[in-house]
Amino acid sequence: MKLYLNRYQPIIMNASDEVYFPYVDKTFYPREQIDDLRREEGIDEEELVRSYGKEQIDKWKKVQILLPFPIQACGRYSRESSFEYFLHMDGCRNKLESARVLILGCGGIGSHVAWNMAALGIGHVFLVDSDVVEESNLNRQLLYDTDDIGKSKEEVLGSKLKKINPNTKIYPIHQRVDCKEALEDLLVNTRPDVVVKSFDSPIYISRWLDEACEKLNCPYVCGIMNGTRQLLGPTYLGRGTARFSDFFYIDPDMEKVGGIAPSLSFELMEMAAGLSEEVFKLLTGYGNLNYKNRIIESENISNIKNVITTDLYDAKSARGRGDIFRNLLILVFIYWIGSIFLHTGGAALALTLLYALIASALISEEERSALLCANVFSLFCIGMNYFNQTVARHEPMNHPGDLLVQFTTVITVVSVLLLLFTAVEMLVWNGKKRIIRYMRGRGNGE
């Protein structure tokens, strides 16, 4: 078997012409040894054992200085593959090459995102815009130059991206998205795995995107400039995650008709990098999303940074407890009906527990909440069964498990009281935030 030097491992040389591998092996070796290993055609393992000894070769194999396959050091994705190697991101290349990304807007943000998509080797990139290149675009929009002024942005950008990476299929689409139906048709025709929204006009397009992506179950990432501030997020993953319209009220009767928007090239590059990173994580399934259920607001010049959340998604635990409280009320009703018509606590208990299992799986949005639902439901059922046997029927409890039942009854009562408290807390908190948001909207003329 032939062995090859792992070219993903950096090699450091000191003043004595000795080398070592800083990530995995701090032992210094004569440079001639490593130069011998760097042969492109590989070296038979038997030959290496004769030269360096079996113990040394086994060590190099264990720490992956030597690999049973070659690594292309000069390929298009060699640096990207090295990154994936160190983070154990297996299968990334296949996922990226089969991915479909729809970019709405080829301006300051969209043009940079499009370059990142081509650089990553995304399989299919759809570029949507209806504007032409203007001189004012050249200070912040990537790949456009003076020869492109007056030409369609998506066509110019698409032709240059094809030269950067011929492996990425580019689809320029000259279209102004002026209604929700047009946006839905666009999503249906392109079938994207993720949408990048960088349009800022028409204003209501954010609401259209929310409704269209929710209807078609299509993820999106969003980034816009708000004056001199950057807004990155939210990342919408489907029902149960926050949409842009969950954060801001969007008036359908308002439209931008003039004004020069402030922007700086490095700010737009930074925003595009953040969106591209989010797209990469979504497509490959690796890493933690930065903008799920939140928007990051920042301004580079004054170093302002805020995290914007929405009352619908900022308190997961409160939402989960609210679900439990609602389901507990349903459980009380089911148990009461079952006791009346079935005339037996056991049958009512079975019916209630069956509902608990179904409700905890289907109603709660978070797995943690579902687990909590099931536990509280079980305690509630045990407590109700204890009440039915000892209080309603006045039956003595002589079974060895009676003490456990009494103990869990106390826990049930405490749990119900806590749930009542947290439910009221959640209602008051959400009501307060809605009032504040309404008043802010009135102050802004919304």
Instruction: Map out the domains of the chain as residue ranges.
Output: 2-71, 92-308, 316-440
CA atoms of 34 and 202, how far apart (whole Å): 60
Say how far residue 291 (Cα) sits from the centre of its chain: 7
Query: Which among 93, 119, 117 is positioned nearest to 103, based on CA atoms?
Result: 117
Res 159: pLDDT:
97
**Cα 94 off chain centre by:** 19
Q: Is 445 left (phi over 0), alpha (psi -120 to 50) or beta?
A: left
Q: Read off the amino acid at residue 18.
A: E
Burial class (CB within 10 angstroms; exposed 0-12, middle 13-18, buried 19+) of 26: exposed
- Name the DSSP letter for residue 392: I
Q: What share of the chain is helix, strand, coil (3-state, %, to 5)?
A: 50, 15, 35
Distance CA 93, CA 95 (A): 5
Query: From residue 306, how far is each of 93, 274, 326 by CA, in Å?
Result: 34, 15, 33
Distance, CA of 124 to CA of 98 (rounded, Å): 7
Cα distances (Å, whole numbers) of residue 295 to 153, 205, 206, 213, 223: 28, 18, 14, 18, 9
Cβ–Cβ under 8 Å, residues 180 and 187:
no
The model's pTM is 0.69
Question: What DSSP line would sit under 236-291, residue for residue?
Answer: E-STTS--GGGTS---TT------PPP--HHHHHHHHHHHHHHHHHHHH--S--SS
Q: Which of 103, 114, 178 is nearest to 141 (CA)?
A: 114
Low-confidence ranges of the chain (pLDDT < 70): 311-446
For residue 320, the model assigns a pLDDT of 45
Quote the tokens at residue 140: 């912040």
Spatial separation of the C-alpha atoms in residues 197 and 226, rounded to whole Å:
14
Closest CA to 137 of 125, 151, 126, 127: 151
Single-letter amino acid code for the residue at 147: D
* 61 contacts 3 by C-beta, under 8 angstroms: yes
Taking CA atoms, 126 is separated from 76, 171, 173, in Å, by 22, 5, 7
Token representation of residue 218: 């299509």
What distance in Å separates the CA atoms of residue 60 and residue 29, rounded to the nearest whole number? 12
Q: How far does the chain reach from its first CA to its final CA, in angstroms?
A: 72
- Nearest Cα to Cα of residue 62 among 21, 116, 103: 21
**Confidence at residue 365, expressed as pLDDT on a 0 to 100 scale:** 43
Looking at residue 258, its pLDDT comes to: 76
Largest CA distance in the chain: 94
Q: What is the 3-state secondary structure (H, E, C) of 135-165?
A: HHHCCCCCCCCHHHCCCEHHHHHHHHHHHHC
DSSP letter at 122?
A: -
Per-residue b/e over 194-225, b at no fewer than 16 CB within 10 Å?
bbbbbbbebebbbbbbbebbeeeebbbbbbbb
What pLDDT sits at residue 312?
A: 55
Measured over the CA atoms of residue 74, residue 80, residue 81 and residue 83, the dihedral's sign is positive
Provide the pLDDT for residue 156.
98
Give pLDDT, residue 71: 85
Helix spans in 73-216 (H): 78-86, 92-97, 110-120, 153-164, 180-190, 205-216
Q: How high is the pLDDT of residue 446?
A: 41
For residue range 261-306, what is the model confidence (pLDDT) as tens digits? Answer: 888 999 999 999 999 999 999 999 999 999 999 999 999 898 889 9
* CATH superfamily label, 92-308: NAD(P)-binding Rossmann-like Domain (3.40.50.720)
